[in-house]
Amino acid sequence: MGQRYQAFVIARVRPHSTDSSAPPRYRCIAAFHHQWCYGRLPLIATNRFITQVKQANNAEIIRTEIAAIQGKYGRWKQEPQLPRIPCPFTAFLLATNWSVDLEDPDVIYASGVSFDNGTLHADMGSRDGGKRSGLP
């Protein structure tokens, strides 16, 4: 089955509160499960993702997604519940960079993990869902 990895994108998000000055908390905004990750693949995938996040257009969309969820959802496992994928563009970038590498046309990598079955609920715990070798 390979080594299973989970990757999480964490951002500072202000929780739902009547107090608008509530301090932001670290919160998962996108999560991805890769069933067949081994060797250097997790590091290469993470590096690809960080490179994509640094692109000005992508960074702007990610900042907009994070701004859109500020103050809307409760803290972990509290009401109002965080949706499964609160930041869809961020989740898409994460899934794509962990599933596909087209950099070298002679050595194309595609994991076979789809966006639909690889994305995880952003509100799940890092130890939920069975035994993983994942990035904590």
Instruction: Give the pLDDT confidence score for residue 135 in this predicted structure.
Output: 45
Confidence of residue 55 (pLDDT cuts 50, 70, 90): very high
* Beta-sheet strands, E only, within 71-135: 100-101, 109-110, 119-120
Check: CB of residue 84 under 8 Å from CB of residue 121: yes
Helices and strands in the chain: count of H runs, count of E runs:
4, 5
What residues does each domain of the chain span? 3-9+28-120
83-124 pLDDT tens trace: 888 999 999 999 888 887 777 667 666 665 555 555 555 666
Instruction: Give the pLDDT confidence score for residue 5 in this predicted structure.
Output: 79
pLDDT exceeds 50 at position 130: no
Average pLDDT score over residue span 51-73: 95
End-to-end CA distance of the chain: 20
Residue in this structure with the two tokens 């990610």, named with its chain if needed: 62
Bigger pLDDT: 133 vs 3: 3
Q: Which amino acid is at 114?
A: S
- Among 136, 135, 91, smallest CA distance to 115 is for 91
Confidence of residue 125 (pLDDT cuts 50, 70, 90): low
pLDDT exceeds 70 at position 133: no
